Amino acid sequence: MPWIQTYTPVGGSLGMSALVAAIPLIVIFVCLAVLKMKAHKAAPLAVASAFAVAVTVWGMPANLAGWAFVQGAGFGLFPVFYIVLTT
Query: 25-43, pLDDT tens digit by residue?
Result: 999 999 999 999 999 999 9
Amino acid identity, position 54: A
Flag whether pLDDT at 1 surpasses 80. no
- The full set of domain ranges for the chain reads 14-86
pLDDT value of residue 87: 83
Q: What percent of the chain has pLDDT over 90?
A: 87
According to DSSP, residue 57 is labeled T
Which band of pLDDT confidence, cut at 50, 70 and 90, is reported for residue 8?
A: very high
44 close to 52: Cβ distance less than 8 angstroms: no
pLDDT value of residue 2: 85
Flag whether pLDDT at 79 surpasses 80. yes
Flag whether pLDDT at 20 surpasses 80. yes
- Residue 28's CB is within 10 A of a number of other CB atoms, namely 19
